[in-house]
Structure 1
Amino acid sequence: MSEESHIIPKHLDDPPMYLMWDADEAYAFLGPVFLVVTFSPSLMNFLLGGILGFFSMRTLARIKSAGGKQLIKHALYWYTPTDAWFKFKRTPSSDVREFVG
């Protein structure tokens, strides 16, 4: 068997990419840009959306690097009503703080 006939992928667990950014960071950048331009299209608002998008992208990147990819999911579970985001069979709701019995 030659090595050329079988290619072994080296990056199975890499996140989806958009150009040079992770997809979720690209969405964090493009979301504010599209929202600002949609509601008031002008060059100044495009620049404002770009600045807001850049800061939201950097904030998301820092949050991900500080606590891993699951930090946002953990914060959503702990600080918001669980029924809005997650449907668990065995995990209790996050708003129950004390159990009797």
Structure 2
Amino acid sequence: MLADTYIPRRLDDQWKIGLWDVDVAAPFLFMLFLGYLAGSLWGFCAASALGIYLSRKMARAKADKHAAYPLHWLCWHLPTNPLSSMRATPPSHIRRMVG
């Protein structure tokens, strides 16, 4: 009964790409891909710089907020479609609920 049992403390950590969260690294990787598709060195450099800027803005917007803040923001600000709409909750444009 004196066995040293390892109990993990972080089961629900976000996915990582290197040291960065996926939602912070995604704008940079997407812009890197678009820069590659541009086919020129200047286009690649400009897209990479824009990707770094967007990733830093995402990291600052996410600082000191809930881990799922980007998903919550997308839920409230993107239009609903049949694939992303939730059946148990009202549409996101209804801000006040009675009951």
- What TM-score results when the alignment is normalised by the length of structure 2? 0.72
Tell me the alpha carbon deviations over residues 14-44 of structure 1, each in whole angstroms, 9 at most, x when there is no partner. Answer: 2111111112212121110111211x22322
CA contact (8 A) 2:23 2:70 kept: no
Question: Which ranges in structure 2 are unaligned for 5 or more consecutive residues?
Answer: none
Match of 2:88 among 77, 87, 90: 90
RMSD: 2.6
- Counterpart CA distance in 2 for 1:13 and 1:70 is 11
Runs ≥4 in structure 1, deviation > 6 angstroms? none
What is the SS of the residue equivalent to 1:83?
A: coil
Closer/same/farther in 2, CA of residues 94 and 11 from structure 1, 3 Å limit = closer
Closer/same/farther in 2, CA of residues 59 and 84 from structure 1, 3 Å limit = farther
Question: Which ranges in structure 1 are unaligned for 5 or more consecutive residues?
Answer: none
Count matched residues: 96
Closer/same/farther in 2, CA of residues 69 and 10 from structure 1, 3 Å limit = closer
What is the SS of the residue equivalent to 1:34?
A: helix
Per the alignment, residue 32 of structure 1 pairs with: 31
Structure (1 or 2) with the greater helix fraction: 1
Closer/same/farther in 2, CA of residues 22 and 96 from structure 1, 3 Å limit = closer
What is the deviation of 1:96?
4.5
One-letter amino acid matched to 2:22: A
